A and B are shown apart, each in its own frame.
Chain A
Amino acid sequence: MRQATLPTVDTAALRPISPRFWIARQVVLAVVLSPLLGAAIATALLAPSLYALLIPAVVVLSALIWSVERGRYRSWGYAEREDDLIVHRGLLFRRTSVVPYGRMQFIDVTAGPVDRVFGLATVQLHTAAAATDARIPGLLRRDAEQLRDRLASVGEARATGL
C-alpha cells in the first residue's frame, strides 16, 4: 500500500485556535484564583504562623493550573483537508477526530458570555453519529462564521445518504 505517503497528525501542520482564547482563559483564571490568593494572604496576616505557608501553596497551585491550561490551549488544532476536517485536542487525554465533509449534518456556532466579551465563538460539527465530538473553540467570531459557511458549502456538495 501507499502507507508511506499517508499523513500523520503533525501538530505543527494544524491550524491553532485564536490567541485571544488564551487571554480569555487567563482572565477567567485570574478572576477565580485571585480571591483564593487574597484569602491566603489575609489568613497569613491575621494568624501569622504556619498559615503563612498557604501563600506559596496557593501560588504553586495557581502556577500548576496555569501551565495545564496553557498546555490544553496549545493542544487545540484543526485542519481543513480536501475531504475531511481534523480536530486535535487534549493534553492528558489526547483526541484526534476525523469528520468527512460528506457526513456533516449541521454545524453550530455558539458563544458563551465569556466568549462574547472577547469576540470568540465555538464551531461544533454534528454527524448522524451521536459520538462525534468535533468541536473547535476559541475562534474569532468572523473566522468561526467563515469556517461554518465553508464547511456548510463543501458539506452540501459532498453529502451522502445514510
Chain B
Amino acid sequence: MIAPPGGTDWRRLHPLTPLVRFGRLILAVALITVPYLESSRSPRGKFELFYPVLVWAALIGLGTIGAIVSWAVTRWRIEGADLRIESGFIRRQSVRIPLSRIQAVDIVAPLIARVLGLAEVRVVSAGRGGEHGRLAYLTAQEAPAVRARLLALAHGLSAETPEPPAVPLLHVDNGRLIAGLSMRAHVLVPLAVMVVAIVSAVIAPGPGVAALGSVLTIVVGAGVALVRAFNEDFDFSINEAGDGLRLDRGLLQRRHETIPFGRIQAVRLMQPLLWRPFGWWRLEVDVARQHAPRDGSDQGGGQQARTLVPVAPRAHVLWVLARVFPDAGIAPPAGAEPPARALLKAPLSYHYLAAWYGNRYVYARTGRVQQATVVVPLAKIQSLRLRQGPVQRWLRLATLDVDTAGRRWGASARCRDEAEAQRMLWELTERARLARHAPAPSAMAAAVAPA
C-alpha cells in the first residue's frame, strides 16, 4: 500500500486494549457472580452450581470475545490530510477527521491504563457533524508521538516535526485548589443545609431526624462532586509550547491536554463570591466543539468549558490570560457600565454588568453573586444579535449578543442604552470584519518573545 506523504500504514491499537476497556465490566460481572454463587451453594452438593456457573462463564466469555473482536477490527491511519479510524464488526464504521479542523488533541490515561502503561489519544475537531476521534489505547510512549504528529499536520507542518519544547507557565498549588474548590456554592450550600438540618434535629428530634436522612444524601453528593473535581484538577500545571498550551492534570486519571493558540474562541475569567477576600480567580477557555462524547466516560467534559486555571491569584491568572490573548485588558474603562435604569431590568446582576471593546477583543462582564468576564477576540465573532424585549423597549435598553463557535458562552452585553447598543452592533460588525481580514497577530510570535 502506498502511504501518501505524511501518512502512515494501517495500525492497530495496543493488544491490551480489551483488558482496559472491558476489564471493569468483567470485574463488575465477577463481583455480582461470586456472592450469588456463594448464596446458591446448597448442602446437597455441587451439581446445582453447575448451571449458574455455566451461564456466568458464558457471559464473561462472550464479553471477552466481543472485546477482542472489537479490538481486532479497529484500525487507524493518517491518510493524507485526514485521520481515519475504522471500527465495528457487524456495523463497519469509518471515521474521517480532517486534520485542519483539529481543535485539540488530548492524552488521557485512566488508572487501569496507567498501571499497564497505556494511554488514549483523543482528537477534538470542529464543525457541525464534527467527529471526535478516540485512539484507545496506545502505549504511553507512542501516544505523545502520535499527538505530535497530528498537531504538526494540523498546523500544516511536516509530519516529522517534533513536538515543540514546553515552558512551564504555572503550577497550581494543591492546597489552594482544595480550599478554592470547597469554597464554591455547590459545596457550601449543602453544608449549610446540613447545619440547618442538624439544628432542627436537635430542636425537634422527630421530624428533624427524618429530614437529616434526606439531607445526608445531598451532602454525600456534594462531597463526591468535590472529590471528583479535586481528582480532575490535582497537580494542575500549564506549560506553553510554541503552538499552544499544554495542560497536565489529574490524580487517578492523568490528562495531558493541548489547546492550540488561535483555536480558542473565548475565555472566561470568573470569581466565586467567597474567593473575593483571597483574591482568587478562575480562568476557562472555550474551543469550538459541537458534540459531547457519546459514552459517559468523560462526564461533563464535553459540556463544560476547559479549565485553564482552576484557582490562582489574580496576577497569575492575568499572566496566563496575557499568554493566550496578548494585550487583553480586563479592567472596564469608564462608560462600560450600562445606564442606571438597567437596574430595573436586571436588579440582581446590575452591579456586575459591563461591556466594552478594543481593537482586538470584546469584553462582557455579567454575574449575580459571582462575577464573570467573557473575552472574545473580534476575529472569532460568528454573528451578532441585537435583542430588545418589551420591558427593555420601555426602558430604552437593548442587549447585544456576540456569538462564537464555542459551546458554552458568547459575550453578552446586557441592557445597554438603545442607541449605544445599536452603535456597538455596527462598530463591532466593522471591527470584526477588519479583524477577520487582517493577518492575525500571531500568539506564537508573542510566545517566542521573552516574557
Contact = CB atoms under 8 A, between A and B. Distances in A.
A127 interface: yes
A103 interface: yes
B385 interface: yes
A5 to B, nearest CB: 10
A102 B367 CA distance: 32
Contacts of A127: 382-383, 403, 405
B410 interface: yes
B393 to A, nearest CB: 7
A128 B422 contact: no
A117 interface: no
Interface string B232-275: 00000000000000000000000000000001010000000000
Contact of A83 (B387, B401, B410, B433): B433
A99 B380 CA distance: 13
Interface string B379-392: 01111111111100
A100 interface: yes
Contacts of A8: 422, 426
Contacts of B423: 3, 6
Interface in A35-63: none
Interface in A90-123: 92-100, 102-103, 105-106
A1 B426 CA distance: 12
Contacts of B64: none
Interface stretch (A19-27, A65-73, A129-137, A141-149): A129-137
Interface residues on A, range: 20 to 34
Nearest to B406: A129
B384 A128 contact: no
A3 B407 CA distance: 33
Contacts of B386: 9, 94-97
Nearest to A9: B422
Interface string B386-422: 1111100100000001011111001000000000001
Nearest to B403: A129
Interface in B82-130: 100-101, 103, 126-128
Contacts of A80: none
Given A92-B389, A129-B410, A162-B263, A97 B422 contact: no
Interface of B: 100-101, 103, 126-128, 263, 265, 288, 290, 380-390, 393, 401, 403-407, 410, 422-423, 425-427, 429-430, 432-433, 436
Given A92-B389, A94-B386, A97-B384, 20 more contacts: A3-B427, A6-B423, A6-B430, A7-B426, A83-B433, A94-B393, A95-B388, A98-B384, A98-B385, A98-B429, A99-B383, A100-B432, A100-B436, A129-B410, A131-B383, A131-B403, A131-B410, A162-B127, A162-B265, A162-B288
27 contacts: A6-B423, A6-B426, A84-B433, A93-B388, A94-B387, A95-B388, A96-B386, A97-B385, A98-B384, A99-B383, A100-B381, A100-B383, A100-B429, A100-B432, A100-B433, A105-B127, A126-B128, A127-B382, A127-B403, A128-B126, A128-B127, A129-B404, A129-B406, A131-B401, A132-B382, A134-B383, A161-B100
